[in-house]
Structure 1
């Protein structure tokens, strides 16, 4: 049993880098996912994960699978899409969800075309789904930098972020930090998606952000507790997913997200605020 659980991480350097990168991503992405969920912006994270694809594809077009150009491209295009959709929703009759959907669909199509034009189907799969088992030192450095930036921002702007989640209109009426905090939060989302893109690709990076956060919602109402539970679920999903991919010869990224999905379903069923708990409470009220 010891060899089955710990052997892959003790004997293989690529598994050690994959584990380290996945755990750091879990620590960084999960709290951002909690704030996305509390803001009712869960699908915005999915849209933004697609929106970074053209930038990463442009970096790939000119420099191949080099981490720095693809990262810079993804970051710039992701921020451009976020700002563009925000401007459209602010100055036109269209709501933010519709403008975001339009921008991300355009971005996804352009990104796939660019990668297909220059590269092969293997390159396209790498960009779309990542390869956590192929993380190198540069990718790990990027992930660590994103995590440090995320926690510095969370420490400095925690109260503003929480207040904007609970009542953004009130925050903007009593303080001028409402708009800047919202913009800063969107930057954090893009940063974490760019970091996750190196390991899980543009299509799956949002999974490690949203599934643990959604699962944590069935266990607590407190924001700090939600963040801690989400991080724990994300870390457990990363470890179990890597073990599953190693022993079952499965793609590592999808394996991690599938395990996170299993944790979500388990939480939805047996969590303190899950299906069974609500059925039990309803049954007690009827018998009373």
Structure 2
């Protein structure tokens, strides 16, 4: 029994360096993206994360056209594109009658179509799949350093702006009345969202990077009401999803990136059903009756 468990759960990581690299990269991404996803969810910006994930595609595609599958070029291009779309969306929302969500949706669709077209001009179908779905099993030292560095920067930056972000989730009107830090914290937060998505793009591609950010955060919401508890739960779900997805990819030959996101989706559905804070089964359970003397 124990040898079978070792072969199924431990041997793939013990025997193959590419599996260990993939695990380190995916866990590092989960550590940084999990808390970001929690704040996106609590601020009702979940779809903003998805839109921003697609917004980085044209910049990454330009980097690909210039330097091929170069980590620095595609990372820099994606970062510039993501920040530009965020700024343009805010500008359009303030200067026109179009709401911010509609402006972001327009830029997101334009970015996705433009990015796919640019990659197709020079690359093959394999290159396009690499950009859209990532290559977590092919992470090198530079990619691992990028993922770990981004997670470290994200956690430190969130610690600095934690108070205004948390207050804005609860009572933005009160925050505006006692402090002017809300606007600056919001801009820094959007920058962190773009940074995490650009890092996640290296491992999971533009279409799946937001999954490791939002699905663990959504699952965490069913287990705890405290903000710190949701951070820990989201990182835990992301880590478990990474392990399960990589093992599923190894044993069953499915693509690793989608397998990680499917594992996160399964844990979300499990939390939706069994979670102690609003899970379906707990809501359907009959309320306890108190006896009267």
Structure 1: gaps of 5 or more residues:
none
> What residue is the counterpart of 1:21 in the other structure?
25
> What residue is the counterpart of 2:283 in the other structure?
278
What are the residue-to-residue correspondences of 1:42-57 with 2, within 5 Å?
A: 42-57=46-61
The yes-or-no answer on 1:259 pairing with 2:263 is yes
SS in 1 for 2:223: coil
> What residue is the counterpart of 1:77 in the other structure?
81
CA deviation after TM superposition for structure 1 residue 141, in Å = 0.9
TM-score, L = length of structure 2: 0.95
Distance 2:290 2:120 in 1: 62
The yes-or-no answer on 1:175 pairing with 2:179 is yes
CA deviation after TM superposition for structure 1 residue 174, in Å = 1.6
Q: Which runs of 4+ in 1 moved over 4 A?
A: 285-288
What are the residue-to-residue correspondences of 1:83-94 with 2, within 5 Å?
A: 83-94=87-98
SS in 1 for 2:155: helix
Structure 1 pair 114–286 and aligned structure 2 pair: CA distance change class (3 A): farther
> What residue is the counterpart of 1:136 in the other structure?
140
CA deviation after TM superposition for structure 1 residue 162, in Å = 0.7
Distance 1:68 1:274 in 2: 43
CA deviation after TM superposition for structure 1 residue 3, in Å = 1.6
SS in 2 for 1:284: coil
Say what the alpha-carbon RMSD is for the aligned residues.
1.3
CA deviation after TM superposition for structure 1 residue 172, in Å = 2.0
Distance 2:174 2:99 in 1: 21
SS in 1 for 2:161: helix
SS in 1 for 2:98: coil
Structure 2: gaps of 5 or more residues:
none
CA deviation after TM superposition for structure 1 residue 168, in Å = 2.1
> What residue is the counterpart of 2:212 in the other structure?
208
CA deviation after TM superposition for structure 1 residue 96, in Å = 1.1
Distance 1:185 1:77 in 2: 16
